[in-house]
Amino acid sequence: MRVAWCCHAEVVLEALTGAGLATSAGLNAYIPLLAIGVLSRYTDIVALPAGWGWLGNGWVILILGVLLAIEVVADKVPVLDSANDIVQTVVRPTAGGLAFGAGTSSSTTVSDPGSFFGSHQWVPVAVGVLLALGVHGIKATARPVINVGTAGFGAPIVSTLEDIASVAMSLVALVLPVLIVVFLVGLVVLFVWALRRRGARKRRRAMA
């Protein structure tokens, strides 16, 4: 993917763009894909590489918008959010793979499977899948704990914050990918904090 302000994007910047989009997909599968599609169709900020033009198709954008609306509502209702996370176990990693592939100018044309795998065109997609799966795993694990700890009142608040983070990360990944490093470090710090907090809660319950 080429961004207007950087016509000759280096591999590192493309990797950061892909990583940011895939991480965003781990929080919400449709936001990064919709951001890519809308910006490529209606602005000059994003120019999709060969093989990824379908993301800017009007029907694809419409479908992504409908799916995003459903996801936004479902993810804010206690219990329903956990059921939604089960379904999204497949969707979010898939979206992460697509987003990373588009962000790193990976080709989707598979006329010869042997050539596709031999040329390592699958690597960016696989990396995107793993990144999105990891973020999704953290999200899906933390949500039931938050629901129980807040009697369900925390679900819409946390979900809204996740949506905002996904939008911000997608836009930053497309416009100023170097800042994605800050987002990724922040996620790691948040994950470590959540693990420690969960461990402390378990110890208090054991003592009680």
Amino acid found at 195: L
Cα separation of the two ends of the chain: 55
Whether 83 is covered by a domain: the verdict is yes
Look at the chain and report how many structural domains it folds into.
1
Domain that holds residue 51: 2-181
Whether the model pTM is above 0.85: no
Whether 7 is covered by a domain: the verdict is yes
Closest CA to 139 of 202, 205, 71: 71
Say how far apart CA 117 and CA 67 lie, in whole Å. Answer: 31
Span 113-135, pLDDT tens digits: 444 445 556 678 888 899 999 88
Span 29-57, pLDDT tens digits: 999 999 999 998 998 888 777 777 888 89
Helix (H, G, I), strand (E, B) or coil at 3: strand
| Least reliable range by pLDDT among 120-124, 149-153, 157-161, 185-189 | 120-124
Q: What letter does residue 2 receive in the DSSP assignment?
A: E
